[in-house]
Amino acid sequence: MSRLEALDGTNWEEFLAAPISVLTLARSDCPGCAAWKATLEDFLDEDTEWTGVRFGRMVLDRGRLGSFKRAHEWVADLRGLPYTLISVDGEPVRDFVDATIEDLTKRLADLDAK
C-alpha cells in the first residue's frame, strides 16, 4: 500500500491537520505531475526516515474539490505544477514547484520533521 494518499473533497481537511503533511497538487494531463507522483511513490516505498510525515496528492481537475478551492483561493493563481506544499499543524511553511526528492528531504530536514 502506497504512503502517497489520494486526496479529494472528503479527506483534505483531516490530512492538512496532521502534525506534518506534504501535499502535492497536480492535474491529470500534466506529464511532470505524473513523473513527480512516480518519483514520490518510489521514494516512499523505500523510505524509513520520514515515517512521521503524511504525503498526499490532489488532482485539481478531477472535481469535488470546491471546499478545498474555496478554503485555499491561492490555488487559482498557481503558476506551475506539480506544486508541493509542506504544512505543520495545518499551517503552510514551505512550498515549491517541480523539485527533486533531495529538495523535498532538505526542506523536511530543515523542519526536523522526522
pLDDT tens track for 10-52 = 999 999 999 999 999 999 999 999 999 999 999 999 999 999 9
Tell me, what's the pLDDT at 74? Answer: 87
Q: What is the second-level CATH architecture of the domain 4-111?
A: 3-Layer(aba) Sandwich (3.40)
Tell me, what's the pLDDT at 63? Answer: 76
Q: Residue 45: which residues within 8 A CB-CB, separation 6 or more? A: 2, 3
| Grid-cell match 502506497, residue found | 2
Q: Please, is 71 exposed, middle or buried when counting C-beta atoms within 10 Å of its C-beta (0-12, 13-18, 19+)?
A: exposed
pLDDT tens track for 93-112 = 999 998 899 999 999 999 87
Q: Where are the domains of the chain?
A: 4-111
